[in-house]
């Protein structure tokens, strides 16, 4: 499934973390809609390619979420490109992107590029710190970023990112009400199947990351509950 509109669940694997063959098999055979390879720090061409080639042994779509242009390589199914809408530094909204398109433009297949309008809400996560995210937002600020993602930038994805902490399901629900075409991704702090189900009632796509490395059994359980939960 190379169309994010058809997704409900994705795992995000960090190329800077170790995962055993057994656990990787559980992730890839879980029934998830996609494996996203991405992280904020320690992302290199070597570790992303290594993880990608291991994921490639399975049928699941394998996507690169680009955080470092040096780690870009061909052979992913999709390239997810974050633009941090609540960044205080234009580098993370258009700057790094401009540089990368100058460098890679002629090799880019735009049909494989999926822009993600990020709104990062956990001030302590590495992504917030790197991207200098203005995290002290009230609900109306977040709703405005969501509307900008859909109506001004026409981004296919709006990503509510709480990386490392569990977010506010009520806010996720509110954000969903202002989006029509743009797909709402929720990610952050999902450690149980019950939390995954709660966020699946509000968001189009639930992204599960760190729990893969902490509790693979619970991580895999999130797939079935998300798929069974209606929006």
Ligand X SMILES: O=P(O)(O)OC[C@@H](O)CO
Ligand Y SMILES: CC(C)=CCC/C(C)=C/CC/C(C)=C/CC/C(C)=C/CC/C(C)=C/CC/C(C)=C/CC/C(C)=C/COP(=O)(O)OP(=O)(O)O
CB of 171 to ligand X, least distance (A): 15
Phi, psi of 93 (to 5 degrees): -105, -50
Separation of alpha carbons 129 and 217, rounded Å: 30
Separation of alpha carbons 10 and 63, rounded Å: 10
| 31 is known to lie in a ligand binding site | no
Work out whether 190 is an interface residue with ligand X (CB under 6 A): yes
State the distance between the two ends of the chain, measured CA to CA, in whole angstroms.
Answer: 19
Phi, psi of 88 (to 5 degrees): -90, 0
Instruction: Give the distance, in angstroms, between the CA of residue 41 and the centroid of all CA atoms in the same chain.
Output: 15
Work out whether 10 is an interface residue with ligand X (CB under 6 A): no
Contact of residue 205 among ligand Y, ligand X, Mg ion, none (CB under 5-8 Å per partner type) = none
Site stretch for ligand X (CB under 6 A), options 80-88, 146-154, 187-195, 219-227 = 187-195
Work out whether 218 is an interface residue with Mg ion (CB under 5 A): no
Give 20: exposed, middle or buried? Use CB within 10 Å, 0-12, 13-18, 19+.
exposed
CB of 40 to ligand X, least distance (A): 8
Residues belonging to the chain: 231
Separation of alpha carbons 217 and 212, rounded Å: 8
Phi, psi of 208 (to 5 degrees): -115, 125
User: What x/- string results for residues 135 through 174 when contact with ligand X is judged by CB under 6 A?
Assistant: --------------------------x-xx----------
Interface residue list for ligand Y (CB under 6 A): 14, 38-41, 65-69, 72-74, 79, 81-82, 84, 92, 96-97, 100-101, 104, 107-108, 118, 125-127, 130-131, 161, 163-164, 209-210
- Choosing from 43, 66, 189, 199, the residue that interacts with ligand X (CB under 6 A) is 189
CB of 51 to ligand X, least distance (A): 15
CB of 159 to ligand Y, least distance (A): 8
Residue nearest to ligand X (CB): 187
Separation of alpha carbons 18 and 31, rounded Å: 21
Binding site for Mg ion (CB under 5 A): 14, 209
């Amino acid at each position: 499934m190379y169309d994010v509109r058809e997704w409900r669940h994705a795992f995000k694997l960090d190329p800077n973390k170790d995962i055993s063959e057994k656990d990787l098999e559980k992730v890839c055979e879980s029934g998830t809609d996609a494996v996203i390879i991405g992280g904020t720090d320690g992302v290199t061409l070597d570790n992303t390619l290594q993880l990608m080639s291991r994921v490639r042994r399975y049928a699941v779509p394998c996507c690169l979420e680009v955080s470092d242009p040096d780690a870009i390589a061909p052979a992913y199914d999709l390239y997810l490109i974050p633009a941090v809408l609540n960044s205080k530094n234009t580098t993370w909204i258009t700057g790094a992107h401009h540089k990368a398109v100058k460098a890679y433009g002629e090799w880019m297949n735009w049909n494989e590029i999926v822009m993600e309008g990020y709104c990062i809400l956990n001030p302590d996560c590495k992504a917030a710190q790197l991207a200098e995210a203005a995290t002290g937002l009230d609900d109306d600020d977040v709703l405005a970023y969501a509307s900008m993602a859909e109506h001004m930038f026409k981004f296919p994805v709006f990503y509510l990112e709480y990386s490392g902490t569990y977010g506010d399901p009520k806010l996720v629900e509110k954000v969903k009400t202002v989006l029509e075409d743009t797909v709402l991704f929720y990610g952050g702090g999902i450690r149980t199947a019950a939390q995954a189900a709660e966020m699946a009632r509000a968001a189009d796509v639930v992204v599960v990351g760190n729990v893969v490395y902490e509790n693979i059994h619970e991580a895999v359980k999130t797939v079935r509950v998300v798929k069974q939960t209606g929006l």
